[in-house]
Structure 1
Amino acid sequence: QNAMYNASQQLQQIRSRLDGTDVGETALRPSQKVLMQVQQALLNAEIDQQRKSLEGNTVLQDTLQKQRDYVTANSARLEHQLQLLQEAVNSKRLTLTEKTAQEAVSPDEAARIQANPLVKQELEINQQLSQRLITATQNGNQLMQQNIKVKNWLERALQSERNIKEQIAVLKGSLLLSRILYQQQQTLPSADELENMTNRIADLRLEQFEVNQQRDALFQSDAFVSKLEEGHTNEVNSEVHDALLQVVDMRRELLDQLNKQLGNQLMMAINLQINQQQLMSVSKNLKSILTQQIFWVNSNRPMDWDWIKAFPQTLKDEFKSMKITVNWEKAWPAVFIAFLAGLPLLLIAGLIHWRLGWLKAYQQKLASAVGSLRNDSQLNTPKAILIDLIRALPVCLIILAVGLILLTMQLNISELLWSFSKKLAIFWLVFGLCWKVLEKNGVAVRHFGMPEQQTSHWRRQIVRISLALLPIHFWSVVAELSPLHLMDDVLGQAMIFFNLLLIAFLVWPMCRESWRDKESHTMRLVTITVLSIIPIALMVLTATGYFYTTLRLSGRWIETVYLVIIWNLLYQTVLRGLSVAARRIAWRRALARRQNLVKEGAEGAEPPEEPTIALEQVNQQTLRITMLLMFALFGVMFWAIWSDLITVFSYLDSITLWHYNATEAGAAVVKNVTMGSLLFAIIASMVAWALIRNLPGLLEVLVLSRLNMRQGASYAITTILNYIIIAVGAMTVFGSLGVSWDKLQWLAAALSVGLGFGLQEIFGNFVSGLIILFERPVRIGDTVTIGSFSGTVSKIRIRATTITDFDRKEVIIPNKAFVTERLINWSLTDTTTRLVIRLGVAYGSDLEKVRKVLLKAATEHPRVMHEPMPEVFFTAFGASTLDHELRLYVRELRDRSRTVDELNRTI
């Protein structure tokens, strides 16, 4: 059909070209016309041939079906014949082995000789060896059968792998392809059906080694018999000696045959292990292909107008096809056994129900201790949650017991009901726990401090959502166990669509409330928003026919909801534990202060309980590390839930967006940029953005702040780390999109030349910023003077540095100025600076007294350094004064102005 369509398109193009109807085309030469006419005739012939083939398609399909049936029957006949031949060979081998064993057990000695204790002992050893030989032969026969079975599986898997690729190429995007894929998925061999041969091979090697040791001991029969006769001289004569020699010879023959059988077993076990490994490799590859294709192929018809019109009749046919059968002859005994197996579960459920009153009373006791500085503890909340978990267990155990009984009733849907009961038990355990935590005066109210009105609202919403999730649970089990039943399941498709619509309607108000809450954490907002959008996306998939994909994603989505609920409980428990710890520490300190007052003679009664300390007063560093660990745990669990579906996205590598030329090993090759590459580039850019936003700050808080580094060093490290993340992220994103490094470097060179003139100053400042960060002539907090500006460095950026001058004004100076101009850093290595105080005295003054007064004022000042010592110099004859300079040194830059002021006042 596709070939006829393509040929028709080409024929139409040739006709248009011959008729000259194509606009802008030049006239055809005679040779071109002849060539196109020949192509036209060839295409017409091909279309006629395809049409005739299409007319005979039914007959051809019937013939191929009969050929397939014949080949299948012939293959089954040959396999059966091979099985019979192998059984005959095994029977013959076992007969010979038993004959050899019988000869070993009954040698032609007289009964008198056989009654000899020494001979009797050795005959028993031979009898044990003969039994081992029979067992080894039987094990070898079993290994042979397993080898044949695994080889057949391997051949079928290889054939299926070849066929499935052809079927995907021919039937891409059709419902028939999905049916074929589901059938192939059901026939894949399971790893549970294959025996692990590693331990068996090791045991065979060890057993063969022991047999060889025994054979070596029997190499010299006379020496071995003589060693046996030592200590038995009264019981040994020539007849006994000859009988022992005959027994030893027979044992050597038994050991030879046993060693041969073990060698055959070892060879077959190794071959079986190799075939199993190859089978599992092929099955894994085939399963990966099937999983990818099934996920991206629509399993049902789209829910369009035709689907709606055919819905009543299709639903009627579906109900007619539903049949539940039960084998009552086998069911009743099995039900009794299952009831006995489920009886412990029912007893445990009854015991918990019997002790519910005591559990509730103990939980109320824990709740009454909350807020009490004497009785409250970090363990109270986990204990209360554990009690709620135990209270939710009886229903879970009853569900499992009922599922176990249904499993043994020999129903045609027993496996389905058992799997559903397991999922339903987990579902009730999680939502039942959440429901009990949110109950009136429950853990959420008494321990977490949530408003009772809010918990009641959340409880009602959770009950509604949980009821809407039940049908999705059931059909997701159907998708796992029997995906073929989904293809004509209009009831499930309609029910899942409306259930998802109901869930979206129920979840959206919760999402809106979270966005309105200004105190909501960003991660919490993102999680709730994503969980709210997923039902809408699943509705679209269901409506477009991707019913199987919807159910697979729905199962993972529900498990993610479980994870979010459990993680929130754990998160609230940890926060309350930190708050309790902070309150107890504060109470102990207050109590210690009161006791000190009592010791000093102050009168006072029992210290009253202090009010609850706010969460903001908890140690922020501990809270930050705890949150980091919590999010890491969430990420690990999230990956564990979704990891098995990550492989389906490799299907995107088959969707090519564009091509680019590359060089590998000196040869030019053409590579593809696929949808998977684009998705990887988007994810890489998001990861890089998240790292740029969070990693430097997190590194500074967790690592750099503990290293006691000099001021500004941590900022330089985090800034350089930002540049590295940007560079690596850009190279990764561009590389995945086909822009390799060799092209990027030419692009960088072109930009350097083209923009070097127009953006020379910007590039100069950029390079100067890197020099400042590496050489660190200035750091954040340094006091500098550059040109006419003086102040403290407050920011160092990629283009400019900000200085806050002494008037508290921010001055932005390009980085290039710090490299090319004269820079004074008053606090780079030594903060000691010199002060010069100039003053003049009248002519005729006592110069020595002036010198002593100035030195005395300097040496007695506490901020003036004694080394180097202050100095006084008579510098010049002024117009009306004799000019002097007092030169002294101070340790800190901030002491300069104050020292000058105080010395002037003292002088």
Structure 2
Amino acid sequence: VVLNELMDKLVAPSLPGNERMMIQAELRVLLNNQTEILNRLTSAYTSYLRSLGDFDFARQQLFGQSEKFANFLDKRLLWVPSSNPIGLNFITGLYQASLWLLSPHHWFGLIKDLGYSARENLFFAIVALMSIVILRMLKVWAKTELSATTEKIDKIYTDSFNLTIKALVCTFILASQMPLLFFYASLFLTLPGNISEFGNAIGTGLGAAAIPYLLIQFFYKLFRPQGIAHKHFLWREQTVKQVSQELRWVRYIAVPCFFLIAVGTPLPFSTISDHLGRLAHIIVMVSLALFLGRLLKPNNGLLTHLILENKNGWLTRLRIFWYPGIVVTPLIIAGFAIAGYYLSALELQHKLIVTLRLIMANLLLHELVMRWLTLANRQLALKNARQKRKTAAAQISKPAGGSSDDPIIPIDEQLLDIPKINAQTKTLLSVFIGFSLIVGIWMIWRDILPAFSFMDNIVLWQHLQIIDSQETFQPVTLTNLLLAGLYVFMVIVAVKNFSGLMELLIFRQISAEAGTRYAVNQLAKYGLVAIGFIIIANELGGSWSQVQWLVAALSLGLGFGLQEIFANLVSGIIILFERPIRVGDTVTIGDISGKVSRIQMRATTLTDWDQKELIVPNKTFITGQMINWTLTDQITRVVIPVGIAYGTDIEMAYKVMIETVKSTPRVLTEPEPNVLMVGFGASSLDFSIRIFVSDLSGRLAATHDLHMRLNKAFKDHNIEIPFPQRDIHIKTAPPGALNSPVIEQNLPSPADACINNGSST
């Protein structure tokens, strides 16, 4: 069929029959050859795919074996000696290494190598020279700015957090000049064009010493007298002086030792590293132990004031453990080097130095946050002072004998609780610093502490999980349980201290009412709890497929037995969003009146005028009738009825009442008060005095004050407030009627015949 199609498509019908037969025969041969080649190609592809499968299987086997071998090395390589223990031969090798290092021939060659590298890399040499010159010029500027910032932070109205950042930048500039020279020298000596072993070794040593030199010099200047630690971070002068003294001598030992340790690294022979480098390693570890021992001494060290202030704290009680442990750790590492485990000692030294850098970085971060917190607290204190001044100004017009029946101040007028906010922020900061230290130390030491991997092998239970559309059982190990416990702790701390952090980070910068702040904080806490629950459940093997039946059961229960609780929960969320009531509002529900002190998920707490706390379900506020006296405006009206005797001059009485009302301090002039005659009573002419007061706390005080003033004004103008009057008519009985037995039974007693009750007869 294919042959016929090709003949019809490619061969012209006009050709003679014999030629068409010849072409057809050739095409048949070609098609047969093509079929054979395709069959061979298919076989080759099949073989190739089989080879790829075998290769992939072998590669996976190789990766598995490499991982097992790596784990084996991680567990045992640290305890494999790399050198001979220090003995008499060590002195001979040290002498030869010193001759090599101090050889004048090598140093003259080093100068030539440095000049040659600079000529070969002229552009980089010019950039390095310009950067050094610029840094030298910036050094003068940094000294001037550092002095200026020190003067500004001593004044409250010129102090700011930006000054601390500027001071840190200036300190870094002052500390980076010599380390930058080390870095450039190392860069030019270790370029690929440099073939001198001595120059390459010296360049490697300078590069390894540059970063420790920069960090030690930076912290030395940070703790100098009248420096950042003393002026900005408010460290004690004695503490700053002690740290500065310790850093002064340790930098002259640590930097040369780091240089000597790294010098022998690129050399093909180990004499320099095993002898000169090992001696430098031992010296730097002993110096570090001495430095930490003198700096952290419990009696007169860096932590002495913390120990004295918290005599029952864990820092004080465990000092017999942590202090010897800190001092002995560098000595143990030095002992490793002495015993011949030099490579293991170098690895441990590197981990220890990185750990110290992590601690110092967290210390610097802690002090920066505390500095910012101090300035933020100062702003909050100024805000409180302005609020006090505003409250005092608002009460100037109130008399000294005002009513104390309403002791509750609306929350929008209350002062911020600075100590509570400060404590919450410090707690969050401590937790964050502690968590970062734990995670950082674990990341640093995890590759040489494989023994802790046993927790991954302790399976507590298994849970069903769908992976790639297949159901598999995944283990929940002891590590997952510990992480879940850590997440629980973090969620609890975050929920308890979130409001203080929000007050400092957000609400301090914007104008927000207390009700808004409370609603945002509550909703954020609910969100944190929900997120924490999801993370913890996921860590312990929970998933939607496993809890959906529980959700369905809860939904059914909410629809029947728990509908009231669910209604209250939803009503609480509606209250936080819609805000028909706010914390600090004064409300009346039925015969209950009080101030809203807390709005929670299920119920709202009211504090009445007797300081009793009333728990009202949230559903009552949403579905029932409620009076909110302070929702949009705290101005309320007070109606006072007054009655005067018949025959009084009405116009004079009106004039006296309106003048008395307007002269009362607590009565607002806008809206304007008024006095209205509302009717003719049985015993008096009835008037209604209608006044407005600025807040609920002034209602009783204004009523009391106005009653006192009206009574005095009526006495001064002889205006009588009448008593209720009753008329009694006495009829005389006919003679002899009193002797009638029927009348005697109906005669009232003498007490019943006198109807007084405050009336006139």
Say if 2:587 is the partner of 1:784: yes
- Picking from 324, 332, 348, the partner of 1:550 is 348
- Cα-to-partner distance string for 1:406-445 (whole Å, 9 max, x where unaligned): 9999677875653332121222233234335555677767
CA distance, structure 1, for counterparts of residue 185 and residue 484 of structure 2: 50
Taking a change above 3 Å as real, the CA distance of residues 518 and 836 of structure 1, as seen in their structure-2 partners, is same
How far off its partner does 1:707 sit? 5.1
Return the letter of the residue paired with 2:239. Answer: Q
Say if 2:35 is the partner of 1:166: no
1:215-254 paired onto structure 2 within 5 Å:
none
CA distance, structure 2, for counterparts of residue 572 and residue 902 of structure 1: 51
How far off its partner does 1:783 sit? 1.3
CA contact (8 A) 1:330 1:409 kept: no
1:351-370 paired onto structure 2 within 5 Å:
none
CA contact (8 A) 2:117 2:194 kept: no
Give the TM-score taking structure 1 as reference length. Answer: 0.46
Structure 2 match to 1:338: 114
- Picking from 716, 719, 739, the partner of 2:519 is 716
- Picking from 335, 352, 358, the partner of 1:560 is 358
Name the SS for the 1:793 alignment partner.
Answer: strand
Return the letter of the residue paired with 1:163. Answer: L
Return the letter of the residue paired with 2:688. Answer: L
Return the letter of the residue paired with 1:165. Answer: G
CA contact (8 A) 2:581 2:628 kept: yes
CA distance, structure 1, for counterparts of residue 527 and residue 307 of structure 2: 37
Return the letter of the residue paired with 2:67. Answer: I
How far off its partner does 1:741 sit? 3.4
Say if 2:522 is the partner of 1:738: no
1:285-684 paired onto structure 2 within 5 Å:
294=74, 297-301=75-79, 336-338=112-114, 371=151, 386=170, 390=174, 393-394=177-178, 397=181, 401=185, 418-436=203-221, 438=223, 453-463=238-248, 466=251, 473=258, 502=290, 505-509=293-297, 510=301, 512-513=303-304, 515-516=306-307, 550-560=348-358, 563=361, 655=457, 657=459, 658-663=461-466, 667-674=470-477, 677-678=480-481, 681=484, 684=487
CA contact (8 A) 1:697 1:718 kept: no
Taking a change above 3 Å as real, the CA distance of residues 770 and 328 of structure 1, as seen in their structure-2 partners, is same
CA distance, structure 1, for counterparts of residue 376 and residue 504 of structure 2: 20
Name the SS for the 1:738 alignment partner.
Answer: coil
- Cα-to-partner distance string for 1:423-474 (whole Å, 9 max, x where unaligned): 2122223323433555567776789886654333112332466578669957
How far off its partner does 1:642 sit? 9.4
- Cα-to-partner distance string for 1:795-835 (whole Å, 9 max, x where unaligned): 3344554444445x252424347437653321224545443
- Picking from 615, 631, 644, the partner of 1:828 is 631
Structure 2 match to 1:126: none
Structure 2 match to 1:863: 668
CA contact (8 A) 1:851 1:872 kept: no
CA contact (8 A) 1:367 1:447 kept: no
Taking a change above 3 Å as real, the CA distance of residues 655 and 893 of structure 1, as seen in their structure-2 partners, is same
Name the SS for the 2:77 alignment partner.
Answer: coil
Structure 2 match to 1:235: none
How far off its partner does 1:784 sit? 1.7
Say if 2:681 is the partner of 1:890: no
CA distance, structure 1, for counterparts of residue 143 and residue 484 of structure 2: 52
CA distance, structure 1, for counterparts of residue 238 and residue 525 of structure 2: 46
CA distance, structure 2, for counterparts of residue 369 and residue 776 of structure 1: 47
How far off its partner does 1:704 sit? 4.2
CA distance, structure 2, for counterparts of residue 166 and residue 419 of structure 1: 35
Unaligned runs of 5+ in 1: 1-154, 179-293, 520-524, 582-618
Higher helix share: 1
Return the letter of the residue paired with 1:420. Answer: G
Unaligned runs of 5+ in 2: 1-53, 120-124, 311-315, 380-417, 715-761
CA contact (8 A) 2:113 2:194 kept: no
How far off its partner does 1:884 sit? 3.3
CA distance, structure 1, for counterparts of residue 186 and residue 603 of structure 2: 73
How far off its partner does 1:572 sit? 11
Name the SS for the 1:785 alignment partner.
Answer: strand
CA contact (8 A) 2:640 2:689 kept: yes
Taking a change above 3 Å as real, the CA distance of residues 536 and 754 of structure 1, as seen in their structure-2 partners, is farther
CA contact (8 A) 1:400 1:425 kept: no
How far off its partner does 1:735 sit? 1.0
CA contact (8 A) 1:765 1:800 kept: yes
Return the letter of the residue paired with 2:78. Answer: N
Say if 2:650 is the partner of 1:874: no
CA contact (8 A) 2:572 2:600 kept: yes
CA distance, structure 2, for counterparts of residue 712 and residue 701 of structure 1: 17
Name the SS for the 1:781 alignment partner.
Answer: coil
Name the SS for the 1:720 alignment partner.
Answer: helix
Structure 1 match to 2:617: 815
CA contact (8 A) 2:286 2:334 kept: no
- Cα-to-partner distance string for 1:675-719 (whole Å, 9 max, x where unaligned): 664565456445544543555444344444555444412211111
CA distance, structure 2, for counterparts of residue 365 and residue 718 of structure 1: 41
Taking a change above 3 Å as real, the CA distance of residues 538 and 734 of structure 1, as seen in their structure-2 partners, is farther
Return the letter of the residue paired with 2:246. Answer: Q
CA distance, structure 1, for counterparts of residue 662 and residue 282 of structure 2: 96
Return the letter of the residue paired with 1:781. Answer: G
Return the letter of the residue paired with 1:397. Answer: L
CA distance, structure 2, for counterparts of residue 682 and residue 165 of structure 1: 33
Taking a change above 3 Å as real, the CA distance of residues 758 and 890 of structure 1, as seen in their structure-2 partners, is same
Count matched residues.
557
Return the letter of the residue paired with 1:434. Answer: F
Name the SS for the 2:542 alignment partner.
Answer: coil
- Cα-to-partner distance string for 1:366-415 (whole Å, 9 max, x where unaligned): 869965999x9998996898589557745873697589769999677875
Structure 2 match to 1:900: 703
CA distance, structure 1, for counterparts of residue 507 and residue 229 of structure 2: 38
Structure 1 match to 2:415: none
CA contact (8 A) 1:335 1:405 kept: no
1:95-244 paired onto structure 2 within 5 Å:
162-169=61-68, 171=69, 173-174=71-72, 178=73
Structure 2 match to 1:796: 599
CA contact (8 A) 1:802 1:810 kept: no
Say if 2:573 is the partner of 1:770: yes
CA contact (8 A) 2:586 2:630 kept: yes
How far off its partner does 1:782 sit? 1.1
CA contact (8 A) 1:663 1:669 kept: yes
Name the SS for the 2:631 alignment partner.
Answer: coil
How far off its partner does 1:160 sit? 7.6
CA contact (8 A) 1:791 1:805 kept: yes
Return the letter of the residue paired with 1:419. Answer: T
Name the SS for the 1:669 alignment partner.
Answer: strand
Taking a change above 3 Å as real, the CA distance of residues 549 and 875 of structure 1, as seen in their structure-2 partners, is farther
CA distance, structure 2, for counterparts of residue 554 and residue 467 of structure 1: 19
Taking a change above 3 Å as real, the CA distance of residues 457 and 412 of structure 1, as seen in their structure-2 partners, is same
